[in-house]
Amino acid sequence: MFHFTATVTCLAILFYFFTTIRVGKARSTFGIKAPTISGNPDFERVFRVQMNTLEWMPIFLPSLWLFAIYISDPIAAVLGLVWIAGRILYMTGYSQAANKRGLGFGIQALAAFALLLGALGAIVWRLIHA
């Protein structure tokens, strides 16, 4: 069973949902009416945090589960928590200034690639030894 990975999946979705709520709040704070998404840099940075998190979901979630299935449920979950921590850093940094988004971005990218390349390695190993 994959209880740890399932838990981290729910936490990642809750974090992602939180980034979408911030966009709604930023709309009212900066007076940006839907459907407008550009024009105000302060709003755009909050919007880009959500978008970038969305952009990484199809990298993160399938990699997380393939890693869990092919390697280990608890290790996948730990790497998933690192990914969420990197995402939180990215969000708090980018909200202040565009050039403060690097550290969090790097951490979440490393965690996601550890999951993806670990899973790919394990899958290819199984294919060869099957």
Under 8 Å between Cβ of 16 and 57: yes
Among 29, 36, 92, 96, binds a second copy (CB under 8 A): 36
- Regarding 88 and contact with a second copy (CB under 8 A), the answer is no
For residue 29, the minimal CB distance to a second copy (Å) is: 16
- Regarding 3 and contact with a second copy (CB under 8 A), the answer is yes
For residue 13, the minimal CB distance to a second copy (Å) is: 5
Q: Which residues contact 16 (CB under 8 A, 6 or more apart)?
A: 50, 53, 54, 57
Fill in the amino acid letter for 97: A
By CB under 8 A, what part of segment 6-35 binds a second copy? 6-7, 9-10, 13-14, 16-17, 20, 33-35
Closest CA to 100 of 91, 88, 87: 91
Among 44, 75, 110, 114, binds a second copy (CB under 8 A): 44
- DSSP for 69-124, written as a single string: HHT-HHHHHHHHHHHHHHHHHHHHHHHH-GGG-HHHHHHHHHHHHHHHHHHHHHHH
By CB under 8 A, what part of segment 95-124 binds a second copy? 98, 101, 116, 119-120, 123-124
- Regarding 78 and contact with a second copy (CB under 8 A), the answer is no
- Regarding 90 and contact with a second copy (CB under 8 A), the answer is no
